[in-house]
C-alpha cells in the first residue's frame, strides 16, 4: 500500500505545532500501525530529516503508552485494542491518515505525538494501592471468601491499562472512567475496603487538581476504551465517593 500520512509535528511543549504531510510506500496489510511508523522514520533517517517522535513500549497491548489519535479516533478505527495492536489491514491503498497526539490540558505535549501522562501516575499515587504488611505471615488471599460476581467485576476493572483514550475521546477531557476503574478494582474486594474512604476521596481530589474535566455521561469513553471498561464503574465510584463524603 501507498499511504499519505498527515502527522502532527511539534518540536517541544512551548512551540507551535502543525500538520505535516508524508508519504510511505510498500506497506503490507499484516504490518502493525507502529511498524508503519517505523518504516516512515527509517525513510526520514535516510533523508537526514528529524524522525517523528511517538511513544511505545511493550507493543503487546499491555502498557497503553502507544496511544495515538488516528483519523479522529483514539487508537484508530478498530475496537478493543490499543494502537500497537492496530494493523494496516484496517486501511486501504491510497488512504489519507491523520495521526495526532492525545489532546487534553492534563496531557501536555512533549514532542510530536508524545504527551506527558504523569497526571495519571499522580492519581494512582494518591490512593490507587493497598497498604499491606508483608514482613510477617500474611493471610493467603485464596482463604478470603469473595463472591465470584465481585471478583469478576474487580478483575474487569483491573484490566484498565491507563492509556488515556477515555480522556482523549471525551469532549470534556474527563478522567472519570480511568479513576473509576482504579477505585473499583479495590472497592469490590475485601483487601481494598480498609482504605476505601481515603482512597476515593484522595484520588478524586487529585483528578480535579490535575485539571481533568467533568463527566457528562455521553459514553464516548466506554466506546473507545481498548479494554472495554464499562460506565458502570463510574456509578460504582460515585457511590463510593458519596459514602466516603458522608463518613468524613
Give CA–CA dist 44/166, Å, rounded. 32
Residue 132 has pLDDT above 90, yes or no: no
Question: Which phi and psi angles does 185 have, rounded to 5°?
Answer: -60, -25
Q: Tell me what percent of the residues of the chain surpass a pLDDT of 70.
A: 96
pLDDT at 143: 77
Spatial separation of the C-alpha atoms in residues 236 and 238, rounded to whole Å: 5
Angle among Cα 231, 237, 240 to the nearest 5 degrees reads 150
Could you tell me if 63 and 57 are in contact, meaning their C-beta atoms sit under 8 angstroms apart?
yes
The residues, ordered by sequence, that sit 6+ positions from 141 with a Cβ below 8 Å of its Cβ are 191
Residue 248 has pLDDT above 70, yes or no: no
| Per-residue pLDDT tens digits for 192-217 | 999 999 999 999 999 999 999 999 99
Which pLDDT score, from 0 to 100, does residue 135 have?
65
CB 166 within 8 A of CB 230: no
What letter does residue 19 receive in the DSSP assignment? E
* Per-residue pLDDT reduced to its tens digit, 139-173: 666 677 889 999 999 999 999 999 999 999 999 99
Amino acid at each position: 500500500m501507498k499511504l499519505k500520512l498527515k502527522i502532527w509535528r511539534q518540536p517541544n511543549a512551548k512551540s507551535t505545532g502543525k500538520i505535516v504531510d508524508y508519504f510511505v510506500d510498500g506497506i503490507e496489510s499484516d504490518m502493525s500501525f507502529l511498524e508503519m511508523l517505523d518504516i516512515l522514520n527509517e525513510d526520514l533517517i535516510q533523508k537526514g530529516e528529524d524522525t517523528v517522535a511517538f511513544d511505545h513500549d511493550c507493543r503487546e497491548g499491555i502498557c497503553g503508552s502507544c496511544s495515538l489519535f488516528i483519523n479522529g479516533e483514539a487508537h484508530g478505527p478498530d475496537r478493543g485494542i490499543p494502537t500497537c495492536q492496530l494493523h494496516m489491514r484496517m486501511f486501504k491503498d491510497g488512504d489519507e491518515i491523520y495521526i495526532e497526539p492525545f489532546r487534553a490540558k492534563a496531557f501536555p505535549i512533549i514532542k510530536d505525538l508524545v504527551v506527558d501522562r504523569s497526571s495519571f501516575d499522580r492519581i494512582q499515587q494518591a490512593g490507587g494501592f493497598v497498604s499491606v504488611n508483608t514482613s510477617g505471615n500474611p493471610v493467603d488471599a485464596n482463604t478470603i471468601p469473595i463472591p465470584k460476581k465481585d471478583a469478576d467485576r474487580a478483575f474487569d476493572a483491573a484490566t484498565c491499562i491507563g492509556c488515556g483514550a477515555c480522556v482523549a475521546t471525551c469532549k470534556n477531557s474527563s478522567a472519570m472512567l480511568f479513576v473509576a476503574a482504579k477505585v473499583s478494582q479495590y472497592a469490590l474486594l475485601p483487601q481494598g475496603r480498609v482504605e476505601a474512604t481515603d482512597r476515593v476521596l484522595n484520588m478524586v481530589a487529585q483528578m480535579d487538581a490535575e485539571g481533568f474535566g467533568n463527566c457528562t455521561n455521553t459514553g464516548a469513553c466506554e466506546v473507545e476504551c481498548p479494554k472495554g471498561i464499562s460506565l458502570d464503574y463510574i456509578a460504582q465510584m460515585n457511590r463510593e465517593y458519596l459514602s466516603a463524603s458522608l463518613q468524613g
